Structure 1
Amino acid sequence: MTTGTARVPDPVRRPLLSLATLTPDELAAVVTAAHHYGTDPDRWTDRLAGARVAFIFTAPAPSARSSFWSAATRLGCHTMHFGASGLQAAARETWVDTGMRLAPYVDAAVVRTNGPQTELEALASELPATINAATHREHPTKAIADACALLDHFGRTTALRLAYLGEAGNTARSLAHLVTGTPEMRLDVYCPKGYGFPPEELEALNGRRTDGDPIRQFDELPRRPDPVDAVYAARWQSRGLPHDDPGREEHFAPFHVNRETMASFSGDTAAVLLHDLPAVPGGQVESDVLRGPLSLADRQAYHEASAAAAALQWVLPAPAPVG
């Protein structure tokens, strides 16, 4: 028989690279946790006290970096920060090797590359736990923040219908995973031809649900689209990525959101606006709509820290106390 203080079991560590890896119950738990944080952040103080979190940001992202730092410090984490020039990857070290070098010193990493998902997966394969703070392919914490803004306004995320206008990039893909993982939620995607989800990806997304196809895709905007609860005006180009299409703005111009667009999508009640900030003046959405009374953009921005806190607690849940 042994004596002394009982050992507290190590917390389960798990990555959060994509919302597609979460079951509907797990997704609901993460969104609920994020919303609880946004409602009363002080109650989360020091929940992860002493956890060592590396911030690896190889692309500029002041908003994401600030929101994760705010959440991590409130949770009591120790943070260290790496930019592109501070990594051996800049000297052609592989992402696997970078992960191996960091693994002994961190409990989790928050990583933003704006690059291929495969780079993040290679790094995460060697780290104890990794959060995707954005790759070119996915942006899971953005979708969690979107869900929190919808919860603020509607009191629910289930049975909401959304319309997304813009390129089907990382914001749209993570939003689609949120939709397919949330009961009765629906999404209509409106993109110029060639800028939407490939048919095989759309089929795979819809295959996650058994109640019909939750996601529909259109390559033009009709005069009277099916009504929705929220219109998501998205950037016409993934952040930080160059393009070689000189007619790009012309292709996207019909998907510009103004008061008439919002009215056309409104049913019995006025549709609200979502936006994956920052907005380009005169681009995706008129400023009077973006800053109008039905815009949830500020709440989305506010809940970036909420999503960051929930993601950190998901990958590094606090150990249960031992009696």
Structure 2
Amino acid sequence: MTHPTSVQAEAPPRAPRSLISLHDLAPEDLQTLVRRSCEWYEDRRPRERPLRDRVVGTLFTHTSTRTRTAFTSGAVRLGATVIAFGPNDLQLATGERLSDTGRILGGMLDALVVRSSVGEDDLRELSRAASIPVVNAMVREEHPTQGISDIAMLSHRFGSLRGLHLAYLGEGNNTAAALALGLALVSGVTLTIATPPGYGLDPTVLTHAQKTGEASGSEIIEVHRVDDIDGGVDVVYTTQWQTTGTTKSDPDWRTAFLPFTVDEHLMARWPDALFMHDLPARRGEEVTSSVLDGPRSIAWDQAQMKLASAMAVLDWCLA
């Protein structure tokens, strides 16, 4: 007599875990990414290869030194093979639909890292069509992997971030958006974003960050004069005034930005504050060489954290 074999329903496949925006993360997700970043910052040669036999594509249609190198090197260190695509390498350049490209890449790759002029919605469409993790390595709205790297650098340097006050000076660009959305998830942090009038954060991003901060116990503030930054500051942060891949309609825009230059005089206002910059820097514009290369600058350590954070992101998405 034979007995029927019981058939167990297979669990549905896990949806691809992409990193499109820090607004999508729960606080514990960010904590995991920061912790792993700090671990690999201390030892960037992992004992295991969690991405062995995986293939990671990198699609960069804009220039990149730190982010592209970090993801390429990080993927290799974790055991993956990397296939790099430039701005004219895919049929997207001849008009193929993004979703069609995604369906093809999804059958051949395990993850895709993208820096492009497309938006977050396009990355979400690409991830859905490909059914693989897609990592936002910078689009016009946000630079989330920079935000993770920066928060990891702060955590590595300060330990607990409770009570930390970071002052960001310059354009409310995609790096500023990532800082706002990321630090909004960290309890007890204050972020003051000081921008020229008309160059602040996207209002939707600012609202998201402030609402998230209310729930987590952080504070996200936007002002439009350096003199309106209240209280003591632990870290001064700036970026290029001309964000990669963007232009400004006002031909005299630099005049509005001049009061936001980070120089020795401004740093003297907070004599114990450290200095951060996401690089590349335009020395003599947003920051002087004496500050960038000075004893309070951690910009060069910050750049090295990008490798560790790229490894953390790939591991989180794939392993």
- Structure 1 and Structure 2 fold alike (TM over 0.5): yes
Distance, in Å, in 2 between the alignment partners of 1:40 and 1:11 is 30
Distance, in Å, in 2 between the alignment partners of 1:62 and 1:288 is 23
List runs of 5+ in structure 2 lacking aligned partners: 6-11
Bigger drift between 175-184 and 121-130 goes to 121-130
1:160 and 2:161 are equivalent in the alignment:
no
Distance, in Å, in 1 between the alignment partners of 2:206 and 2:14 is 36
Residues 123-142 of structure 1 mapped to structure 2, 5 A cutoff: 123-127=126-130, 128-142=132-146
Distance, in Å, in 2 between the alignment partners of 1:49 and 1:198 is 40
CA contact (8 A) 1:72 1:309 kept: yes
Measure how far apart 1:202 and its partner are. 2.2
Cα deviation digits, residues 173-228 of structure 1 (max 9, x gap): 00011110111111001000010024454233211133666111111111874211
Q: TM-score, normalised by structure 2?
A: 0.91
Distance, in Å, in 1 between the alignment partners of 2:151 and 2:205 is 22
Tell me the secondary structure at the aligned position of residue 107 of structure 2.
Answer: helix
Gap change, CA 1:124 and 1:11, over 3 Å in 2: closer
Equivalent residue for 1:149? 153
Amino acid at match of 2:245: G
Residue in structure 2 matching 1:76, options 54, 75, 79: 79
Cα RMSD (Å) = 2.2
1:21 and 2:24 are equivalent in the alignment:
yes
Amino acid at match of 1:185: V
Distance, in Å, in 2 between the alignment partners of 1:225 and 1:285 is 21
Distance, in Å, in 1 between the alignment partners of 2:294 and 2:109 is 43
Equivalent residue for 1:236? 241
Distance, in Å, in 1 between the alignment partners of 2:43 and 2:211 is 37
Equivalent residue for 1:31? 34
Cα deviation digits, residues 26-69 of structure 1 (max 9, x gap): 11111111111111112254121111111111112132111111
CA contact (8 A) 1:225 1:265 kept: no
Distance, in Å, in 1 between the alignment partners of 2:124 and 2:104 is 16
CA contact (8 A) 1:158 1:183 kept: yes
Q: TM-score, normalised by structure 1?
A: 0.90
Residue in structure 2 matching 1:50, options 47, 50, 53: 53
Distance, in Å, in 2 between the alignment partners of 1:57 and 1:224 is 36
Provide the aligned length of Structure 1 versus Structure 2: 309
Residues 1-323 of structure 1 mapped to structure 2, 5 A cutoff: 13-127=16-130, 128-208=132-212, 209-210=214-215, 214-222=219-227, 225-266=230-271, 270-317=272-319
Distance, in Å, in 2 between the alignment partners of 1:10 and 1:46 is 23
Distance, in Å, in 2 between the alignment partners of 1:309 and 1:148 is 12
After the TM superposition, which parts of structure 1 deviate over 6 Å for at least 4 consecutive aligned residues? 9-12
CA contact (8 A) 1:34 1:310 kept: yes
